[in-house]
Structure 1
Amino acid sequence: MSTWTSRAGALAALGAVALVSAGGCTAPGGAGSAPREVTVARGALVVVAPPGYCIDESATRDSEEASFVLIASCASLASGRVRGPAVAPALVTVTVSAQDPALAEPDARALAAAAGATRVLAMRQAGALALVHLGEGGDAALPGGDPRHWRGATVEAGRVVGVAAYAPLGSPVAGEEGGTLLAGVAARLRAGPAPATATAPATVPPGGGPFAAIRDLFT
């Protein structure tokens, strides 16, 4: 399995863990609007939410080795006046790996194969963005949600960026709109103000797995 596929699979799992540990929901913010962008990976990457969606600051985890961002509708994250279009309720997770300059662009077929026994409904390849539409598992990450959900992977600033979209049962985001939403998230990624310098792989205890050393960041 290629390096990006291994990392994308691990990040998808960690993103699901983070989503469940957050209760599968978003916490109301204070007066005003929630932010629409955040810088993670210790300044190396900027994540920008699509129109109508905002960043849940309380769920953000920033680390050189693995970062996590939760995106939801602005209306669900702010108690004050919300600007922007009304959007379908959905939760989008963005997970960012450590830097690896040797990473190749993700491939949709390989990403689908990495899903294992999970039913694959569709695959898309849009440049460096690989997307798969899965027919089961979404309700495990988002209790009461639609089993159908989207996952994707791309490379930005020398890092694997994993994205996933979960939605309520029957939501259009669980269908075709979910792929479009993730494509919008991926298109807005950009390098941050801090240089993304290569780092040595983290030491992992024997038998711990490739991301065991940073699993506690997401629980």
Structure 2
Amino acid sequence: MRISKLSITLCALLLGGCAEGFNVTRNAPSSIQLPNGTVVAAARGWCVDTSTSRARGDTAVVVLGSCAALAGNALAPRPDVPGVVTVSVESEAGVSPSPKELETFFVSDAGRAALAHDGRAESVDILETRREDDLFILQAEDQSALPGASPVTWRALFDLEGRFVSVSLYGLSDRPIGRSEGLQTLEAQVDRLIAANDP
């Protein structure tokens, strides 16, 4: 996949969109089925924020938060780390970029700009990249992150039944997430998605 095409695809996944919502009756469901049939199931302690999860055009973006916080119930499950997880899924099936292509893209100026909140490559430092079979993981630091958000984020990108998926973990500035905790949280969510969509 050429860098220009990859840039467009990843920008859509990373930035997401807001428009028509999903038809869900519970306040904090643990899973949701997208219009394209993909099931976004949350890992333990996480639930779907139906007020901010949206599907538009080529991409659906599902926001996951603490079940206890979303349900307003202190007895409900909560994740081991504070923060927010987003799951972005391409609506149409296609050929996903390989982990090597993703690594090449994200260490480039265009890739770092796609990760930056302000769109400037110089705002982002790539702290770590990992390739595990068909899974690509990166840890980045964005100096233009929103107030209250940790500048350090984790992302996993992979193919899920023919659709390109991005899972992102955002921490809080006053409660940063450690490296091992961040990776474990990210990998648990990836495993949950794969299991929920196993044919």
Q: Same fold (TM over 0.5)?
A: yes
The structure with the largest strand share of the pair is: 2
Decide which of 109, 114, 118 is 2:103's aligned counterpart. Answer: 109
**1:42-191 correspondence runs (5 A):** 42-63=35-56, 65-80=58-73, 82-84=75-77, 87-107=80-100, 109-113=103-107, 114-116=111-113, 117=121, 118-137=124-143, 139-140=145-146, 143-173=147-177, 175-190=179-194
Q: Is the 8 A contact 2:46 2:79 kept in 1?
A: no
Post-superposition CA distance 1:85-119 (Å, at most 9, x none): 55221101111113243334333523532225320
Write the letter of the residue equivalent to 2:179.
Answer: G
Instruction: Name structure 2 gaps, 5 residues minimum.
Output: 19-24, 114-120
2:31 and 2:144 map into 1 onto residues whose CA distance is 25
1:138 and 1:180 map into 2 onto residues whose CA distance is 25
Residue 13 of structure 2 is matched in structure 1 by: 11
Write the letter of the residue equivalent to 2:148.
Answer: G
The two structures, once aligned, show a CA RMSD in angstroms of 3.1
For normalisation by structure 2, the TM-score amounts to 0.74
Q: Is the 8 A contact 1:33 1:81 kept in 2?
A: no
Post-superposition CA distance 1:124-148 (Å, at most 9, x none): 22222211111115723xx311111
Deviation at 1:177, TM superposition (A): 1.9
Secondary structure in 2 matching 1:59? coil
Write the letter of the residue equivalent to 1:94.
Answer: V
For normalisation by structure 1, the TM-score amounts to 0.68
* Higher mean displacement: 3-12 or 62-71: 3-12
Runs of 4 or more consecutive aligned structure 1 residues displaced over 4 Å after TM superposition: 2-5, 190-193
Deviation at 1:37, TM superposition (A): 0.9
Residue 30 of structure 2 is matched in structure 1 by: 36
Q: Is the 8 A contact 2:148 2:174 kept in 1?
A: no
Aligned sequence identity (%): 27
Secondary structure in 1 matching 2:177? helix
Relative contact order (C-alpha < 8 Å, sep 6+): which is higher?
1
